[in-house]
Chain A
Amino acid sequence: MLAVLMLEQTVQIVSNERDTDSYFRLVLRAPLIAPLIQPGQFAHVRVWPLKDALLRRPFSIFQVSGDTFSILYKTVGKGTDALARLGVGEELSVIAPLGHGFTVPERGGETPLLVAGGYGMAAMYLLAQRSPQRGIVFVGGRRRVDILCETEFRALGWDVRVTTEDGSHGEKGLVTEPLIAELRRKPPVPHRKVFACGPTGMLKAVGKIAEEYNVPAELSMDEHMCCGVGVCLTCVIPVKTGNGWEYQRTCTEGPVFEARQVEWEETR
């Protein structure tokens, strides 16, 4: 049994501001939750004004600061639309921190190569902040507005390599292109390890590339969730076992899995 220390709390909104386009940053005061948060974990948020949409919404945790933590979200449906309308001082119910996150490199250990698709970048900020070694972050998106928290990563002293599909910011192309270029570089960065968060298609590509270059990789898998705590078995992905594969929960065994564990043939 995984020892996850989680809490259900009613927390107050400290700020909830538009970042770019349809992206928002939500800061919550959660003094009991904030100190428990590990990189790659998520918060399960109940947006009360939703009325007939009952379920909580899971969000990766972006930053932790003192007694607050923040999330970076995109308005994509009624849950996030309702969330965007909430103001300072209003309350939300949060269950957090949840899930099995990224393995933070040890001092003198791996050099992290982070690969992010769009706001997947937010889920890796804590990892970058808590990693003793600075690394490289590869971030890709469709347009300039899809590239988020670049400033925050640069402020950590990280090498940020941006790609956009329309070429409006950074290099034109896919995030995997500069990643491959880096992995081909001679001599290679010592003890490289890939960490990725983004859409499933990107994760699959990153997983294959890491395998090809024989570099370990951890992937934060994105699946629809319902309970968030491991009982409903909605958010499962196929994971290799000794003699086949089984469905494991992205909310509990994940969201972060080793890339070589994922049975891509059985993913949809």
Chain B
Amino acid sequence: MKPRRRPPAKQKLVITGISGRMGRLLARRLHKEYEIIGIDRRGSRYLPKNVTVYQMDIRRKACEDIFRKGGIGAVIHLNIVHDLRKDAEEHHSFNVVGTHKLLDYCAKHNVPKFVLLSSANVYGASPNNNQFLNEEAPLLGASTFSGIRDLIEVDIYTNSFFWRHPEIDTVILRPVNILGHLSNAPSNYLRLKNPPTILGFDPMMQVIHVEDLIEAIVLSLKPGVRGVFNIAGPGAIALSVLHKQLGRTKIPIPELIAKPLVKLLWNLRVSALTPAELDFLKYVCMVDDRRAREVLNYRPQKSLRETIEVVRF
């Protein structure tokens, strides 16, 4: 694609995974303030006209050329594959190697800011979790949910990069369940007409509207902001109330048969729910977002009700 001419005053901003819904929202939010360069191996549509998109794999050498031109003010790394149906090895290589490469380019070509979109799920849902986990909590998500291993590895690698490169403002955002017109696990689950739950369990959950998250990403671009931030939404809500608000009829499954049943349905490609995700329907995995409120000055704008409503259809 041919880069278009534009006034040079704008700072360059690289967004990886720009073709995803989140990337598109972010590009729309920021294209007036920044010169946006998107990288994605998927084709992209419906992006603002002044966004330049390179359709390539972030692991490819050609990708570095974007950085060689210089003048990049920040990188927002959204390009992490969560789809567990994809080949695990490829998936892992793309996520981990891709992030390594990207961080190398940032260090080599003096990019002052790197933002990684991680997830609060890296902490894992467990019966002895604190009600609110802070940023120092260990990342135990993979102990029962191996699908999240990539993300934890990426998160930890970025964390070590943060310490090795004090000259770069590295930011790791760990948002709670993101709801929106997205196709991520929590939104898909809540859009089910008859969502399965586990009989006798009704944990508290945190949800965040995708637009609030976009604002948090924008806030994290401020120079000088660095470190790990939990991003929580407007409040906590019990899973059953969530379903009730959305008018869903939940199907409570006894724990004993829930795991084999969900595994069977997953293998038959009937449901998108993986057996490991059941822990998130059983135990709390909630975060303390005090740091984001204090340092980023982040405040969710959407109410709990508005946040839930977004996945009604």
A binds B: no
Chain B residues close to A by CB (< 8 Å) = none
